[in-house]
Amino acid sequence: MVPTVMINPEILDLSSEKTIAWEGCLSIPGLRGKVSRSKAVRIKYQSYPSGEYIESEYSDFVARVIQHEYDHLEGVVFLDRIASSLDLVTEQEYLKLITTNS
């Protein structure tokens, strides 16, 4: 996805279908966690610089990123979304996991 400025975003709809994937965050360096998120999202926002309202749907990885970033606006970080502490690993453990499973 091309970087897109989304002013005053509002999530209009989240798909009921969920996916679980590893997430990390610059706000919490050195940790990764498995997070369940909706597979698709419909969002409304104002574009920059025109201020035009845009409504778009995104799926898969881009939908995950939008939900992750929207959470920050709500004061939520990915750690708040982890179901179990067993789903949390250090960055070093994560790198071992992904190289072993590829």
> Hey, which residues are catalytic here?
69
Radius of gyration of the chain (CA): 15
Q: Which residues of 50-73 are buried (b: 16+ CB within 10 A; e: fewer)?
A: eeeeeeeebeeeebbebbbebbee
The continuous run of DSSP H or E covering 13 comes out as: strand 7-14
